[in-house]
Amino acid sequence: MIRRGGFTLTEFVLFALLLSVLVVVVPNVSGAGRENRSLDLATYLLGVRSKIELYKVHHNGQLPTLTGENFTSFLHRMATKTNVDGDPGVDFGPYLQCLPINPFNDSARIRIDGTAAGANLAGWRFDTRTGAFQADDSPGHAMF
């Protein structure tokens, strides 16, 4: 019997199975998952920061949360329509539908002022004095 070159069906199925396992395993082992989360974090920070800047433009330089207020004030002003004073109205907004989830600690909660960013007490931290919106999951990510 003459044997032709090539793969048998069994060899092809085994190769396809091995290849599919590698497609799943290699990105996780190589650290690509961590790089993707870093990219997501940077994208979320850029998006929320740009919305805060737009809020400031519409509200005469006023931040969406003032000293002594809490995260509810921030969310209310960023996720609903407001007037120029930041009170309920129809002139501006909404700027956010919801806060993104921090990909490193899976929290969408925002902390207002208090301990410096990176304390891992929430997903995000907003500084009412400077207007800084930062990741709160680690000191390294607070620098983004």
Mean pLDDT (the chain, rounded): 87
What average pLDDT does the segment 55-71 reach? Answer: 90
Alpha helix (H) residue ranges in the chain: 9-30, 32-58, 71-79, 139-142
Residue 19: the pLDDT is: 65
Does residue 78 lie in a domain region?
yes
Q: Answer yes or no: pTM beyond 0.85.
A: no
Does residue 110 lie in a domain region?
yes
| Residue, of 133 and 35, whose pLDDT is higher | 133
Instruction: Give 31's pLDDT tier (boundaries 50, 70, 90).
Output: low
Does residue 25 lie in a domain region?
no
Residue 71: the pLDDT is: 87
Q: DSSP assignment, residue 111?
A: E
Instruction: Give 30's pLDDT tier (boundaries 50, 70, 90).
Output: low
Does residue 19 lie in a domain region?
no
Instruction: Give 32's pLDDT tier (boundaries 50, 70, 90).
Output: low
| Residue, of 15 and 87, whose pLDDT is higher | 87
Query: Is the pLDDT reported for residue 110 higher than 90?
Result: yes
Structural domain span for residue 131 = 32-142
Domain total for the chain? 1
| Residue, of 10 and 130, whose pLDDT is higher | 130
Does residue 18 lie in a domain region?
no
Instruction: Give 35's pLDDT tier (boundaries 50, 70, 90).
Output: confident
Query: Is the pLDDT reported for residue 27 higher than 60?
Result: no
**Residues 6+ away with beta carbon under 8 Å from 41:** 102, 103, 104, 135, 141, 144
Does residue 21 lie in a domain region?
no
Residue 135: the pLDDT is: 98
Tell me the C-alpha distance between 130 and 50, whole Å: 15
Does residue 138 lie in a domain region?
yes
Does residue 4 lie in a domain region?
no
